[in-house]
Each structure stands twice: as C-alpha cells, then as structure tokens.
Amino acid sequence: MTRCGVLGDPIAHSLSPVLHRAGYAAVGLDWEYDAHRVDEAGLADFLARCDTSWRGLSLTMPLKRAVLPLASTVSDLARMAGGANTLVRRTDGSWHADNTDVPGAVAALTERYAGELRGATVLGGGATATSVGLALAELGVSELTLLVRSPERAAETVTALTRHPRAPRVRVATLEAEPEGEVVVSTIPAAAQGPELVERCASARVVFDVIYHPWPTPLAAAAPERDQVLVGGLDLLVHQAALQFAQFTGVEAPLGAMRRAGEEELAARSTGHAR
C-alpha cells in the first residue's frame, strides 16, 4: 500500500485527509492518506520510521520551519520562505522539502480577484503569514504591513520577505494599528478577530482569511455586507493540496472533486455530523 499523510500538532481538525482521499478516489488510486499527531520533538523520529511505502507528507504547524534541517534537499521556494509544508519521497529514499503554500495562495487569490494589488496587510507573523506575504509579492504588492501581537516575533517573516526578488517594503506594527492596501489577509484565530479589528478592515477590497474552521470567521462574515471579495481558507487549502497531490502522485489533481469533498465535510462539521 502506498502511503501519504499530514503531520502536525494539533492535527485532529485537519481537512487534508478528506481532500487527498477524494483526489485518490477520483483518479482511481488505491492509496492511503491519514493524519498523524507529531510535534517538533518527534518529527525526526517519525521520518526515520517511514519505510519505502511512504510517498509524500503534508506539514502543518508547528513543523513547517522545523522540517528544513531534516530534508536532504530543499526547494528554492521553501528556502526563501524559511519553511516547507510538503515532503516528497525521492527514489533514493531521501526527502525533498517544498512549499506549496506560496503558489497555493497565489492561485486562491487570483481565482477570486483579478484586480491590481499594490498594497496589503497581513494579520499575524508566523509561517503561514510568510507564505502569503511572498504570494502577495508575486502578485505585485510593493507595500506590505504586518500587524502582529508582538512585533519582535515577526522577525523571521520580515527576513523571508526581503529574500523575494521583488521584495516589498514591510511595515511591522501591532494589531491595534490601521490596516493598509487593497487586501487584508488574516492568519490569526477567529477568536482574535474582535469587533474593532473587523471594523478597521472595512476599507479593503479583498479579505483573505486562511482559516477554514470555524467558518465563517468574524472577518469573513462581515465581508459580503461590505461588498468585499472573500477568499477563504478552503480556497488556499484546496489549491496547495492540489499541488501536493501532483507532486506525490505524478497525476494532475482533480481540483473540483477535492473542493467538493472539502465543502461537504465542512458543512457536515457545522451540523455536528462530520465523517
């Protein structure tokens, strides 16, 4: 049996198994894809125990930065981002680290919004904020504001953004500061999206919330009332998972089938009937 999976801690909420399994079913692959609770301390041991049946791994928090020293090779994009969400097993048994969050975020944004992007604000300063920030740079954003709880904790993200060939000018401030630009991206929990913060984001043309559960978040719920374009966490998850799927299997991902499976699962969770 060929095996893939997603690693992280916590991991029970992950929608990745639903998406990848739907993809396998759609293209006729009899593969396994499961969620495994693994923290930073246990990552090296988990990888060492993976036999030749393992083809690929998805990585979520807190492993995206911790995995880089454990991979035999690292893509230029993952190195620039300072984090990887994808491990692909090579024929010699080694692991190659890549980042599909960046192109996934580009695809998610451009699928929903075709306008010009010059300025943007990202709420949060972790690994996901880094990947989305690099995606915004890819899309032409030249002025980027990071709003974080503690500005000093955004140092790694700022460093990564300066490595982009078209590095945006970065301003770091606290979450109480005013968002700027055409798009606001939230990488913070729904519980941290208080009414004042939501109100300060009202002028953005686009709201991109990387969370997919619980949904809608306060920012997402307010977007339709303001005629803001809404990009959701499921959009990002599906696009980055599709890129992983292609790397793991060598087969083009059935994007529609994977998205439908994600939508159905989230609907089931909202009514307490998750599979």
Q: What pLDDT shows up at residue 53?
A: 97
Distance CA 185, CA 142 (A): 15
Residue 68 domain-assigned (yes or no): yes
CATH number at residue 251: 3.40.50.10860
Residue 141 domain-assigned (yes or no): yes
Residue-wise pLDDT for 196-241, tens only, equals 999 999 999 999 999 998 899 999 999 999 999 999 999 999 999 9
Distance CA 146, CA 264 (A): 33
Do 164 and 246 lie in a common domain? no
- Axis crossing angle, helix 101-112 with helix 127-138, rounded to the nearest 10: 60
Q: What pLDDT shows up at residue 251?
A: 97
pTM above 0.85, yes or no: yes
Phi, psi of 191 (to 5 degrees): -65, -20
Do 156 and 224 lie in a common domain? yes
**Percentage of the chain lying above the pLDDT 70 cut:** 99
Do 246 and 170 lie in a common domain? no
Distance CA 144, CA 146 (A): 7
Do 45 and 106 lie in a common domain? no
Q: What pLDDT shows up at residue 270?
A: 84
Do 226 and 117 lie in a common domain? yes
Q: What pLDDT shows up at residue 275?
A: 59
Total domains in the chain come to 2
Residue 106 domain-assigned (yes or no): yes
Residue 139 domain-assigned (yes or no): yes
Do 219 and 106 lie in a common domain? yes
Where do the H-state alpha helices sit in 114-186? 127-138, 155-162
| Listed residue (60, 48, 55) closest to 84, CA to CA | 60
Residue 259 domain-assigned (yes or no): yes
Residue-wise pLDDT for 37-81, tens only, equals 999 999 999 999 999 999 999 999 999 999 999 999 999 999 999
Residue-wise pLDDT for 145-156, tens only, equals 999 998 888 999
- Show the domain range for 57: 3-99+240-270
pLDDT, average across residues 5-30: 97
Residue 275 domain-assigned (yes or no): no
Do 33 and 128 lie in a common domain? no
Distance CA 170, CA 270 (A): 37
Residue 170 domain-assigned (yes or no): yes
CATH number at residue 164: 3.40.50.720
Do 118 and 227 lie in a common domain? yes
Do 133 and 167 lie in a common domain? yes
Q: What pLDDT shows up at residue 152?
A: 86
Indicate which residues carry an active-site annotation.
Answer: 64
Residue-wise pLDDT for 84-125, tens only, equals 999 999 999 999 999 999 999 999 999 999 999 999 999 999
Question: Contact at 8 Å (CB) between 209 and 186?
Answer: yes
Do 124 and 72 lie in a common domain? no
Distance CA 19, CA 21 (A): 6
Phi, psi of 123 (to 5 degrees): -90, 115
Do 133 and 209 lie in a common domain? yes
Residue 192 domain-assigned (yes or no): yes
Do 185 and 257 lie in a common domain? no
Average pLDDT over the chain reads 96
